[in-house]
Each structure stands twice: as structure tokens, then as C-alpha cells.
Amino acid sequence: KQEVTQIPAALSVPEGENLVLNCSFTDSAIYNLQWFRQDPGKGLTSLLLIQSSQREQTSGRLNASLDKSSGRSTLYIAASQPGDSATYLCAGKYGNKLVFGAGTILRVKS
Amino acid sequence: DTEVTQTPKHLVMGMTNKKSLKCEQHMGHRAMYWYKQKAKKPPELMFVYSYEKLSINESVPSRFSPECPNSSLLNLHLHALQPEDSALYLCASSQVERNTEAFFGQGTRLTVV
């Protein structure tokens, strides 16, 4: 069974800090890994997509890495801002399915 | 345009009602998905349509009935729901190729009373 785990479950940091969110997956037969942001009661906003053949993707202050052999992905957020406060979800693509982790709730304090 | 539009945003329905959720995209995507998300939980896959044909049904109860009338529209028909079906229902779309990016709508918040 494909499982995706995210650590930590919650994170609170002061504004300006760099931070890392972790995602691990049990089945390395992954097509891609996608990171999403979800604000309370809202839908999912796609942040970054990493193909299985790629090691890294960057968008602005966000950088995501993928290591298929170890079953891990990380999302690095540089110079965090209060507006970054949200739940961050990673999801592995297996066939036509996205399998989600439980998410990391991030709070950036001003 | 990377928008997936879901209507309504909120829905309250009784257990004997029949209602429908609607999802629309104009990105030319031929794969469309319904996910269910309970509070403080990750989204769980319900159905996948590929080229307007149902390709995956994750053992969803028959009180949920999906429909894909054309390549841009996806409906979820609801009938005789239970209070435990209250959740955020999310629609997504992507290209059919399996390594492509998925885009989600803002969801419909469903409350069954």
C-alpha cells in the first residue's frame, strides 16, 4: 500500500526564518511529487511539481527536492512571512492517483 | 488559465434531498477527479474520469453518482446522504499523462443535516 508521511505535523516559526518541511513515501514507483498549499476551508493551490527523473525544482522562495531512492522529498521555504501560514501537503502520483500526506500546519509569527 | 471552478461553494442538504455538485475546467485536461476531505485530514480520492469515461471508483457508496457529460464538465450527484458525508468536496483536473500536474478547485463545503 502506498503511504505518504509528513513531518512535522505542525510548525511555528518567527518571521524571516528559513524552514524545511519533510515528506516521505513508501513506494518509490512514483510518477511525480507535488507540493500544495491549503488555506483553512479552501481548495489546494499547487506550489511545485517534481518529476520522478528530477532532483529539484524552484519557484521564488520555495525549493523542493526529491530523492526517490530514499523515498523522501523536502520543501524549503526561505525568509518566511506571515502570509506563508497555511497547511502544506505533499502528494505522490501513482498511476492516476494522488496519494496525500496528512500535511504540515505552518504558522509564521510576525 | 489554470482555473478549476466548482459550484456551489457551500451546500446544506437534508438526508432525503437530491443535489448536484458541479466542476468545470477549460484547460483542455482530459482527466478529472473527485476528492473528499474531512476536517484536518488529507484529501481522499473518490473517482477518476479519463477521456470522459470512469476509470477509477474507490469503492464509493452508490449514494454518490459521478457524471462527466463532456471534456470540460464533471458532476457529482448526491442522494440520500448521511451526516457523516459532510466534508469538503474537491474537484481536480490534469492531462491524462501520468506525470502531469494536477490543479484543484476551491471545493464545495457540504453539510448534511
Find the distance separating the first CA and the last CA of chain B, reported in whole Å. 36
**Sign of the torsion angle spanned by Cα atoms A105, A108, B2, B3:** positive
Q: In this predicted structure, which of A73-82, B14-23, B31-40, B90-99 has the lowest mean pLDDT? A: B90-99
What are phi and psi for residue A84, nearest 5 degrees?
-80, -10
The reply to whether residue B98 touches residue A52, judged by beta carbons under 8 angstroms, is no
The reply to whether residue A96 touches residue B48, judged by beta carbons under 8 angstroms, is yes
Give the integer Cα–Cα distance in Å for B102 and A43: 12
The reply to whether residue B101 touches residue A46, judged by beta carbons under 8 angstroms, is yes
The pLDDT value given to residue B1: 65
What 3 state SS string does B71-84 have?
CCEEEEEEECCCHH
The pLDDT value given to residue A16: 97
Q: Which residues of chain A make contact with B92, given a CB cutoff of 8 A?
A: 44, 98
Residue A90 near residue A6 (C-beta atoms within 8 A): yes
Tens of pLDDT, residue by residue over B40-83, are: 899 999 999 999 999 999 999 999 999 999 999 999 999 999 99
The reply to whether residue A93 touches residue B50, judged by beta carbons under 8 angstroms, is no
Q: Which residues contact B4 (CB under 8 A, 6 or more apart)?
A: A43, B23, B24, B25, B91, B92, B93, B103, B104, B105
In degrees, rounded to 5, the angle at the alpha carbon of residue A52 between the alpha carbons of residues A46 and A57 is 50
Q: Which residues of chain A make contact with B33, given a CB cutoff of 8 A?
A: 98
In degrees, rounded to 5, the angle at the alpha carbon of residue A38 between the alpha carbons of residues A27 and B100 is 50
Of all residues in chain A, the one with the smallest CA distance to B89 is A43
Q: Which residues of chain A make contact with B90, given a CB cutoff of 8 A?
A: 43-44
pLDDT mean values, one per 10 residues, chain A (110 residues): 94 97 95 96 95 95 96 98 98 92 97
Q: Report which of B55, B48, B54, B59 is spatially closest to residue B94, judged by C-alpha positions.
A: B48
How big is chain B, counted in residues?
A: 113
Among B24, B91, B94, B104, the residue to mutate for chain A (most A Cβ within 10 A): B104
The pLDDT value given to residue B97: 83
pLDDT class for B95, splitting at 50, 70, 90? Answer: very high
Using DSSP, state whether A83 is helix, strand or coil.
helix
Contact A68/B at CB under 8 A: no
From B42, B98, B103, residue closest to A95, measured CB to CB: B98
Q: Which residues contact B43 (CB under 8 A, 6 or more apart)?
A: A44, A89, A98, A100, B35, B36, B37, B90
- Helix boundaries (H) for B29-106: none
Of all residues in chain B, the one with the smallest CA distance to A44 is B104
